[in-house]
Structure 1
Amino acid sequence: MTSALSEPTYRRLFAAQVVALLGTGLLTVALSLLAFDVAPTRAGEVLATAFTVKMVAYVAVAPLVTAVTSRWNPRAVMVGADAVRFAVALALPWVDQAWHVYVLIAVLQSASATFTPTFQAVIPVVLTSERQYTHGLSLSRLAYDLEAVLSPMIAAGLLLVMSYHGLFVGTASGFVLSAVLVLRSGLSAPGAPSGALFWSRATAGVAMFRSRRSLRTLFLLDLAAACAVATVLVGTVVVVREDLGRGPASVAVALAAFGAGSMVVALMTPRWLEHHTDLTSMLVGGGLCALLLIVAVPVVGDRGSWPVLLVVWCALGAASSMVLTPSGRIVNAAVSVAERPAAFAAHFSLSHACYLVAYPVAGWLGGLTSVAAATGVLGAAAALATGAAIVIRPR
């Protein structure tokens, strides 16, 4: 995977991605604690709504904004997106109403929905060989997993010496450094021709997902993984702070346990896939997501304990990573080179649409009933999705 880093432009762009991800990870922890302060009795609902707003931006705003900016220089687009995210991160500590959180998160995630597709589009321009491009994709996936582990750990350390408001400053710093690295990357890729609109590519990609069995199977397994991720991201702060009565740093530790499980599987996946097919790995991961969510029901209920929660959260991270890590290979194998941009664009939107369903169930149902009830419903949904994937998978 290190061969891609020998290209100076990619090395700086990858570094920009890493620091922006670390900033976003600090934001996730800070946002959980902010939700608890703004609405102590409705923290799960506030957090679920904020994450739902994020997914709406990813699913709906990304195609529209990318269509507008497709003719612009991608370096200017990414720097502009970082500037918007920096401003929002500095504004978040001053809010005292839930709707303030929703508005600012909508703006911040719209900027992220602009940055991410632009970043993904320039990587094959920078890494022209297939081998380097594959390594670049692998590094990007590992960066997401490392962020899930390191950001909560860094947040836990910072929370020992400062209030959670300081985490927003760390988030803003990450976006500033990301913008500087993009500016210094030397990227000179021109904008896309005026006819190459993201929305048209996304529409063509959705048709591929409807008509091709392997892609329909991938969508169902993405839904199973989304149920696991939503349970952890939405429910952790409620279970740790309210049910277990632990401090803010414990929220970060629990999220780090989830990220650690994901990272271990991501590191093991290349060797695992030498002996097993992509779909086999993903189906096992989907089944484990469902099973572990059912197991988690008493853990997040009256019979929960801190050590058991960490073990289950780590296992859920591993199970979700078994689904998410090989997903790009499924898309790549199902389409031709010419179809690849549209297919990956559709996967970006459709996979995030799964979270648009899972986050409200985790937060709003959890607020109306209990975290345990929401976890049980999501476990059942993951089981149904995985079962359907087994039935329709390619033979």
Structure 2
Amino acid sequence: MESSLFGNRDYRHLFAAQVVALFGTGLATVALGLLAYELAGARAGVVLGTALAIKMVAYVTIAPIAGAFADRVPRRLFLVTLDLARAMVVLALPFVTEVWQIYVLILVLQSASAAFTPTFQAVLPDILPGERDYTRALSISQLASSMETLLSPVLAAAVLSVVSFHWLFSGTTVGFLASAVLVVTSRIPHARPSARTGLWERIAAGTRIFLATPRLRGVLALDLAVAGAGAVVMVNTVNYVHDALGLGDADVAVLLAANGAGTIVVALTLPRILDVVAERAVMVTGALALSGGVFAAIGLSTADGGGWRWPVALGVWAVLGAGAGLVLTPIGRVLRRSTREADRPAIFAAQFSLSHACWLLSYPVAGWVVTATGFTGGWLTLAALTVTGTLAAWLLWPRHDPEALPHVHHNLPDDHEHLTGAAPTSDGGWRHTHTFTIDPHHRNWPTPHLGARR
């Protein structure tokens, strides 16, 4: 990556905050599974499943609410407060004695994360205004997430070799506290306040922008494709390795590593590709790779046996990781050019919420349908979700997608400042062309050729 990116002190500190918080969360995930087993024994899977469901519900519901207030409070103070809240919750987890206490603490923890992540994402465009630096920051962020998935279990195993798993919660607490310190030492500009005043209008703003913007409708469809294919990896890898391939825990780690390696390769190479290839082409290609990967997995699930399945599975999981990287890495660029600066907290919160709503749909399929019908039946259902998302993105996101669009205003007074330079139309409106985003002056997308009638 270019030195100019890490030469930015504020970005350097925020990236370090993201990394330590990510690894802290990874340690907590391992520790939570062991804590659930300690409290519930054979019912540990039910406890973890409920905890994950609570996490997803919090992500879907809390993120838009947080996005509605993120421009009303100092963002640095907001992020630090959320880090401290997460640190206190994790510190309390080793002392729980009842399963219901886990659920309450997980709700608080994940609600804080649901507010932290989109706020953090919305800060990056403000401290990295250059397109190249911002693109590289997105790739590095994706790389950090993938590395956390690969290395957190290894780090947890090293810690558990010398101390009790309860100490993993201490490591997580240290991670969140370190993240808070790094955020405090960063200069984060205040968000530009949104012109929207009503509470519900602010909460729903990001979702409304998503549904009204063609390219963002395409992004939402791609979120569904990622969730459909990703559930195969996230939910079914352990059972596939043990039950279908007859291999052990170490092989589970290797297969997950293959998936992460696919994402890492994409994260390292994509910035240069995005300099010359449009986001739509890259992301739709990623969705096609996801679709092909799921169908290849279905083919593996129908095979009766043979040593060839293991190397093929490694390749398939790597393709699924690469496809996810191709879709997820450019999303921040698309969100940034699809909204005004004042709406960035809302749009990043909406992406966070809507994408996790897709996971809330695919996770039960991977868990319940695969359990009831086997790998082939469950993965066919997930393939249907992935293909549906891919086709919908192809149709909803226009191939010709310029930022500046001609449109006509009918609802603004003739002396309104927004109409400076606009030309009158025969029906009493004002026509002009500029970078178009959904906002209080532009509530509908322009009709092709004619322009929006506002």
Instruction: Tell me the TM-score normalized by structure 2.
Output: 0.73
Are residues 1:18 and 2:19 paired? yes
Cross-structure match for 2:368: 364
More helix by percentage: 1
Q: Higher RCO, 1 or 2 (CA under 8 Å, sep at least 6)?
A: 1
The residue aligned with 1:386 is 390
Q: Give the structure-1-normalised TM-score.
A: 0.83
Q: Is 1:55 matched up with 2:59?
A: no
Partner of 1:377: 381
- Residues 135 and 271, structure 2, Cα contact 8 Å, conserved in 1: no
Question: Superposition pairs for residues 234-253 of structure 1, below 5 Å?
Answer: 234-240=235-241, 250-253=251-254
Distance change (3 Å), C-alpha of 1:345 and 1:67: closer
RMSD: 3.5
| Residues 165-191 of structure 1: per-residue CA shift (max 9 Å, x gap) | 5543432332122122223x1436457
Q: Deviations over 1:114-146 (max 9, x none)?
A: 222332343344445555545444433332233
Residue number in structure 1 paired with 2:432: none
- Identity in percent: 49
Higher Rg = 2
- How far residue 363 of structure 1 moved from its aligned partner, in angstroms, is 2.1
Q: Tell me the alpha carbon deviations over residues 21-76 of structure 1, each in whole angstroms, 9 at most, x when there is no partner.
A: 11223334444565667667676665444333222212211232454565443333
CA distance in 2: counterparts of 1:332 and 1:194, whole angstroms: 15
Quickly say closer, same or farther: Cα 1:12–1:309, change in 2 above 3 A.
Answer: same
- Which residue of 2 is the match for residue 151 of structure 1? 152
What are the residue-to-residue correspondences of 1:184-333 with 2, within 5 Å? 185-187=185-187, 189-190=189-190, 200-201=201-202, 203-240=204-241, 250-297=251-298, 299=300, 303=305, 307-333=311-337
Equivalent-residue separation in structure 2 for 1:368 and 1:91 (angstroms): 37
Q: Contact 2:58–2:111 at 8 Å: present in 1 too? A: yes
Q: In 2 relative to 1, CA 71–386 (structure 1 residues): closer, same or farther, beyond 3 Å?
A: closer
Correspondence 1:67-86 to 2 at 5 A: 67=68, 70-86=71-87
Q: Are residues 168 and 348 of structure 1, via their aligned partners in 2, closer, same or farther at CA, if it must alter by over 3 Å?
A: same
Q: Is the 8 A contact 1:202 1:346 kept in 2?
A: no
Q: Which moved more, 1:247-256 or 1:14-23?
A: 247-256
Kept in 1, the 8 Å contact 2:290–2:324? The answer is yes
Give, in whole Å, the separation in 2 of the partners of 1:258 and 1:372: 20
Aligned residue for 1:3, secondary structure, equals: helix
- Alignment CA distance shift 1:83-1:243 (3 Å): farther
Name the counterpart of 1:9.
10
Instruction: Decide whether the 8 Å contact of 1:281 with 1:323 is kept in 2.
Output: yes
Stretch of structure 1 that moved more, 251-260 or 375-384: 251-260
Preserved CA contact (<8 Å) 2:142 2:325? no
Letter in 2 for 1:10: Y
Deviation at 1:262, TM superposition (A): 0.7
| Counterparts of 1:341 and 1:180, CA distance in 2 | 22
C-alpha distance in structure 1 between counterparts of 2:251 and 2:35, whole Å: 15
Alpha-carbon spacing, 1:363–1:172, altered in 2? closer, same or farther (3 Å): farther
State the SS of the aligned residue for 1:187.
Answer: coil
- Residue 226 of structure 1 aligns to a residue whose secondary structure is helix
Give the alignment partner of residue 345 of structure 1, picking from 327, 345, 349: 349
CA distance 1:237–1:97, change in 2 (3 Å)? farther
Q: Is the 8 A contact 1:48 1:362 kept in 2?
A: no
C-alpha contact 1:202 1:342 (8 A) present in aligned 2? yes
Structure 1 position 182 matched with structure 2 position 186:
no
Distance 2:246 2:169 in 1: 24
AA matched with 1:214: R
Most deviating of 269-278 and 53-62? 269-278
How far is the alpha carbon of 1:285 from its aligned partner?
1.6
Unaligned runs of 5+ in 2: 400-454
Equivalent residue number for residue 64 of structure 1: 65
